[in-house]
Amino acid sequence: MTTTELWCDRCGEAATATAHPGCASARQLEPPRFCQHCRRRMKVQVLPVGWSAVCVEHGEIRG
Amino acid sequence: MPEILDQARTQVLGDGVGLDQAGVLAVLNLPDEHLPAALQLAHEVRMRWCGPEVEVEGIVSLKTGGCPEDCHFCSQSGLFTSPVRSVWLDIPSLVEAAKQTAATGATEFCIVAAVRGPDARLMKQMREGVAAIKAAVDIQVAASLGMLTKEQVDDLVDMGVHRYNHNLETCRSYFPNVVTTHSWEERWETLRMVRDSGMEVCCGGILGLGETVEQRAEFAAQLAELDPHEVPLNFLNPRPGTPLGDRPVVEGKDALRAIAAFRLAMPRTILRYAGGREITLGDLGTRDGLLGGINAVIVGNYLTTLGRPATADLELLNELKMPVKALSATL
């Protein structure tokens, strides 16, 4: 497992330093949808307080 | 003062009789300089016919994504290339969500599923989930599970679900542009059964789907005819991968005009801020709406997107001296 963020967690396209300002802005009001490490779509559960997102390869993250 | 606001002051504020479709359209067409007066009047109407209390609600998705319907605004349809995947919430997590909601001071907890209508598995999950919530949390339970049969309506009443949400989403004339897999009339039939069962009816929709101002007025009039206990007012938050993903968000002043107009059409209903207000109105607009006819809010997150922190809304209500409706007042 790499720790490098290769993929945008909102749109699933390749992540670069400046390529996704729209996604970064939108992510303030959205949970992630794609795993940043492998681009898989994650299973996301939004709760009244917080969210969880699970990648079958890289595990769960919470916010 | 525009004639329509003079008429509304007498008819709506004085007599409690909502504006008809033509009156709503006149409010929606008010020029910007008259918007503050419209909001002020709508606020007076809300205070007179509903009172100062604000009903606070939390919502949670019991079954997310994979929906067979094609509601063009929805990221949970399985027919679009949305990144939302199908996922079920287990009962311990459902109860925890209800506890989180109650901890904000909310009196309402709405369980939502992305389905055409519930199947046996979902009804079983509901029965077990509602029982578990009622055993652990002091909160009213509402549900939103799509179109129902009469037997399912009766089952929900038996579970103790006190309010059922089923949005018409938009006016009858525009609905076929938004949904093609079922009809406006099918939704109306579920609402009729819910009303007849004694459950409270919660029915609203989304503004900014591409409807005209005239159709927005038509929608308000059709909701007024239904006379729901609650009207949740959403503003389109365009979702990637959906047919409406590239639509612009509703302009803030148009959203506020709609809030005032819907209040003047339905002076006694619970008019709730729902999804999309964060991007359409922002913090300042949220305040303007609460001082312009809104008397209920969804706090915390939505079904697939995030909202303002509950504390931000509760602090705003405190600042506006609007008390949160107590649980005892809803029983």
Residue A56 belongs to what domain range?
1-63
Nearest to B87 among A10, A29, A45 (CB): A45
Domains and CATH numbers, chain B: 3-322 (3.20.20.70)
Instruction: Residue B117: name the closest of B62, B211, B179, B190 by CA.
Output: B190
Output the known binding site of B for [4Fe-4S] cluster.
67, 71, 74
The pTM for the full model equals 0.95
**Dihedral of CA B43/B48/B51/B52: which sign?**
positive
Q: Does B304 touch chain A (CB under 8 A)?
A: yes
Judged by DSSP in three states, B58 sits in strand
pLDDT in tens, B62-71: 999 999 999 9
CB within 8 A of B278, min separation 6: which ones?
Answer: A29, B286, B307, B308
What is the total count of domains within chain A?
A: 1
Residues of B in contact with A46 (CB under 8 A): 60-61, 64, 301-306
pLDDT in tens, B8-37: 999 999 999 999 999 999 999 999 999 999
Instruction: Residue B265: name the closest of B219, B211, B201 by CA.
Output: B219
| Residues B261 and B18 sit within 8 Å (Cβ to Cβ) | no
* A12 CA: distance to closest CA in chain B (Å): 9
* Residue B182 C-beta-side C-alpha neighbours within 13 Å: 19
Instruction: Residue B67: name the closest of B130, B119, B110 by CA.
Output: B119
| Residues B294 and B107 sit within 8 Å (Cβ to Cβ) | no
Place of tokens 């069962």: B197
Element (H, E) at B112: strand B108-113
| Residues B165 and B110 sit within 8 Å (Cβ to Cβ) | yes
pLDDT class for B327, splitting at 50, 70, 90?
confident
Nearest CA in chain A to B277: A29
Other C-beta atoms within 10 Å of B132: how many? Answer: 15
Output the known binding site of B.
67, 71, 74, 110, 202, 272
What ipTM does the predicted assembly reach?
0.90
What is the rounded distance in angstroms from the CA atom of residue B216 to the CA atom of residue A43?
36
Nearest CA in chain A to B106: A48
* A28 CA: distance to closest CA in chain B (Å): 8
pLDDT class for A3, splitting at 50, 70, 90?
low
pLDDT class for B312, splitting at 50, 70, 90?
very high
What is the rounded distance in angstroms from the CA atom of residue B275 to the CA atom of residue B233?
8
Residues of A in contact with B304 (CB under 8 A): 30-31, 44, 46
pLDDT class for A21, splitting at 50, 70, 90?
confident
